[in-house]
Structure formats: structure tokens, C-alpha cells
Amino acid sequence: MKSNPGGQLAPEEILGRDEFIAELWEILAGRNVYMNDLRRIGKTMIINKMEAEPPPGWVVLKRDLGGLRTASEFATRVFRDANSLLSIKKRSLRRMTDLIGSVEEIAGVLKLKNGSVAPWKEVLSRTFADLDEDYKTSEERIVFFWDEVPFLLDNIRTDEGPARAMEVLDTLRSLTQDYPSIRLLLTGSVGIHHVLTELRRDGYNNSPLNTFERVAPGPLDRGDAIYLADQLLLGEKLKVPERGDASECIASLTGDVPFYIHRLVSRMPKSKEVTPASLHDKLESELIAADNDWDLAHYRNRLTKYYPNGNDETVVLSILDSLSGEAGGLPVADLMNRVKSTVPKTDDEQIRSLLKLLLADHYLVRNSRNRYTFRLEIVRRWWGGGSRTVILTIRLS
């Protein structure tokens, strides 16, 4: 198996996710799913594997929605995917045909016979109704996998206004209630709570995802991460005197995240021996490099957008700076004291509120000792500037 950080993997190369995927299919049998977690954690790989290997009785329609900017573009994509599915079965979307006749798509949106844009809400509702009618007597069930839904909603809010984004959310909620035979699996690397917070400032009070099961895949289990590292070391034909030690070291250094495991193995030179010491040195040099391509900068860059109120961003930065030098984390009282010493214009209530958001955004966790710490060790190491804050917990050889 070759390292391929960020590239497309064959289903059999997506390791350590079978149990989680089985749980997702069990949930989908009864309700819809919203899967949210950090960028690069492996959400897209999970739904790719699910699409490639669905259990008997499931039909998957997968689409990345992050690049769409209007409700009409969204409705058009849903119609297009549904129409492609039924075309394979030599059937058509009857209600949609009644609405628009022969389909004409211009600049990514459906047009009526008179040239006007087809009403997006009607397109969605008729598409769902047609699918439900076609499949309700079938032994198969349809599930839409929609990737990066929070980006879609935020794009609609920005380009078409908050009211339109609210309409889209309420329409999706209505469709899941009216057509329970059709399932949705939504994903996002940005928490949808940020979009809802913005919409609530404009008067939105609904809870559109209250019927969805919320899940977070997280990193791999340590044993699976070690196995993945071992397979990549073998596949790359690297010089590894003690493969067991090296594989365990890779899993530990990368926080058991497949993308970072692939990336670290891909950077090890084939001409030198791979040891825990060389792995540590390579990761340190990568994390502090000016042209770092580990896709970690977004952890800093997104804060301005998602913590825009008052001095929230400043307080969040102080929280993360304080924790980046503490491998074991900090109790809340100690953390508050550190933050208040660097940001005088804050208080316990603001810090608690922001800690709650940082937990929801998967930046932080509370560990078994009830201390706040970074959820991913590799992010802590990068945030702290590499070796300046590293406390090794592995044996270097």
C-alpha cells in the first residue's frame, strides 16, 4: 500500500473505519445523520467507502455541495442526481416533468419553458415526491450523501440572504418528515452551529436538525493507526530496522489521523533508516517549515470568521496559546487565570462560553483528568511552534 495523502483511495485502502461505517448504516435504517468533525479527519473517505460498498437494499446518491452558492443550484444538483438514477431504470421524475416539461439547464440551474428559473423549493419537493413514489414499494432505499452542507448554507446566506438560507433549512426538515423513506447523511468540517448562530441573529428560531443523529468519526483507534502505518512503511519499501516501533511512533506523532499518517510516511527519505528519532525530527521540521503543506493553517485562519464578536477571537487565541504548551492539558481554573492574565477584558462567563464552542468545533476535549486539551496532538504541536512545546511520550531510539 502506497502513501497517498489527500488523494483518492480505493475502498480497500480506507482502513480502520468498518465498525464506524456499520454503525452509520444501522443509524440510517431509522433516522438521518449529521457527521461533523475536523478537516482531514477522514469524513469524505468514509462516505466514499460507504458509496462503494453499500449494504444490500441501499442506493447511494453522493454529492459535494461546498461549491454551490444558491438554493437553485442546490435544487438543480439534487434533481440531476435523482434523474440520473431513474434514467438508469428507464423511468422519469413525473412531477418534475409536469413542472418544467423537457429539462433545460442553463448556468447550473433549471429553467422553465418561459426561460425563468424553476422555483427551487418546488424542484426539491417534487424530486423527493417522485423518488418516494418510485421506491416506496421497492426493497431498496435511497440515501443522499451531501458533503460540506455548512459551506452550502453559509454560501446561500452570503449570496442570497439569511431568509433564503432559513428557507432551505426548513425545506430540508420538511422533506425528511414528509418522505421518511428517503434518508440524508450530511457532513461538514465547519460546525453547522456557526451558520445557525448567524441565522438566529436574524430571527431564526427553528431546530432543523433535531431529527438527525449527530456523529463524529474522530481519529482511528490506535491499533488501526499502527496497522495503517505498518502497511504504508511496507508499501513504500523504506528501510525500517524495527517496524513495530516505527509504526507505533507514527501513530502517536500523528494523533492516529490517516491523512497525517500518509503524509509523514510519504516524507521519509528512502535512503535513510526510519526510526522513532528520525520520524520525530522529520515531523518537527515539517511543522515549522514556512511552506508547510499539512493543511493545518485553517485552524488559525477560520477563527476570524467564526468568532467575530467583540474580543472573542482574542480570547480564543489566548485559550489555544495557553494550552499549546501543556501536553497534559489544564484544569479550567488554571486556564481561566492564564487567559485573564493576557486578556484583561474578559470574564469567566465569556471563557466558559468560548470553551463550549471550541469543544463543539473539535479543537478541544476534556480528558480523563477533567483537563482541557487539544483534541489532536499534532495540532497542539503545530500551534505551539514545533519543538518549543513538545513533550515526548514515546521512546526515541
Residue 5 maps to a domain: no
253 lies in the same domain as 136: no
159 lies in the same domain as 97: yes
Classified as helix, coil or strand, 328 is coil
Instruction: Write down the residue that cell numbers 432551505 correspond to.
Output: 168
Residue 183 maps to a domain: yes
Compute how many other C-beta atoms are within 10 angstroms of the C-beta atom of residue 264.
25
Compute how many other C-beta atoms are within 10 angstroms of the C-beta atom of residue 397.
12
Residue 12 maps to a domain: no
Q: Kindly state the average pLDDT of the residues 30-36.
A: 96
Per-residue confidence (pLDDT) for residue 135, from 0 to 100 = 86
pLDDT tens readout for residues 314-338: 999 999 999 999 999 999 999 999 9
CATH number (domain holding residue 283): 1.10.8
pLDDT tens readout for residues 221-253: 999 999 999 999 999 999 999 999 999 999 999
117 lies in the same domain as 256: no
Per-residue confidence (pLDDT) for residue 393, from 0 to 100 = 35
pLDDT tens readout for residues 353-396: 999 999 999 999 999 899 999 999 999 999 988 533 333 333 33
pLDDT over 90 (residue 149): yes
CATH number (domain holding residue 54): 3.40.50.300
Residue 293 maps to a domain: no
pLDDT over 50 (residue 24): yes
- Alpha-carbon distance 390 to 327, whole Å? 7
Question: How much of the chain, in percent, has pLDDT values that exceed 70?
Answer: 91
236 lies in the same domain as 312: no
First to last CA, the chain: 26
Question: How much of the chain, in percent, has pLDDT values that exceed 90?
Answer: 79
Asked which of 215, 242, 261 is the last residue of a domain, the reply is: 215
Pairing mode, if any, of strands 372-374 and 32-36? unpaired
- Alpha-carbon distance 397 to 390, whole Å? 17
265 lies in the same domain as 318: no
Least reliable range by pLDDT among 1-15, 112-126, 176-190: 112-126
DSSP string across 16-45: S-HHHHHHHHHHHTTSEEEEE--TTSSHHH
Residue 113 maps to a domain: yes
Does the reported pTM lie above 0.85? yes
Residue 302 maps to a domain: yes
Per-residue confidence (pLDDT) for residue 352, from 0 to 100 = 97
pLDDT over 50 (residue 185): yes
200 lies in the same domain as 126: yes
CATH number (domain holding residue 337): 1.10.10.10
pLDDT over 50 (residue 42): yes
For residues 40 and 52, the answer to whether their CB atoms sit within 8 Å is no
263 lies in the same domain as 325: no
34 lies in the same domain as 84: yes
Per-residue confidence (pLDDT) for residue 273, from 0 to 100 = 97
109 lies in the same domain as 183: yes
pLDDT over 60 (residue 101): no
Per-residue confidence (pLDDT) for residue 385, from 0 to 100 = 81
Per-residue confidence (pLDDT) for residue 136, from 0 to 100 = 81
How many domains, the chain? 3
For residues 117 and 110, the answer to whether their CB atoms sit within 8 Å is yes
59 lies in the same domain as 194: yes
Q: Kindly state the average pLDDT of the residues 6-27.
A: 97
Q: 270: domain range?
A: 222-288
- Alpha-carbon distance 180 to 128, whole Å? 10
Residue 65 maps to a domain: yes
201 lies in the same domain as 60: yes
Asked which of 265, 288, 311 is the last residue of a domain, the reply is: 288
Asked which of 288, 310, 334 is the last residue of a domain, the reply is: 288
Position 95 confidence tier, pLDDT thresholds 50, 70, 90: low
Sign, CA dihedral 273-276-280-286, equals positive
Q: Which residues contact 354 (CB under 8 A, 6 or more apart)?
A: 307, 312, 315, 316, 319
Per-residue confidence (pLDDT) for residue 390, from 0 to 100 = 36
**In the structure grid, which three cell numbers stand for residue 359, read together?**
469543544
HEC per residue, 47-108: HHHHHHCCCCCEEEEEEECCCCCCHHHHHHHHHHHHHHHHHHCCCCCHHHHHHHCCCEEECC
**In the structure grid, which three cell numbers stand for residue 75, read together?**
435544487
DSSP annotation of 1:
-
161 lies in the same domain as 238: no
Per-residue confidence (pLDDT) for residue 94, from 0 to 100 = 61
Residue 395 maps to a domain: no
For residues 382 and 285, the answer to whether their CB atoms sit within 8 Å is no
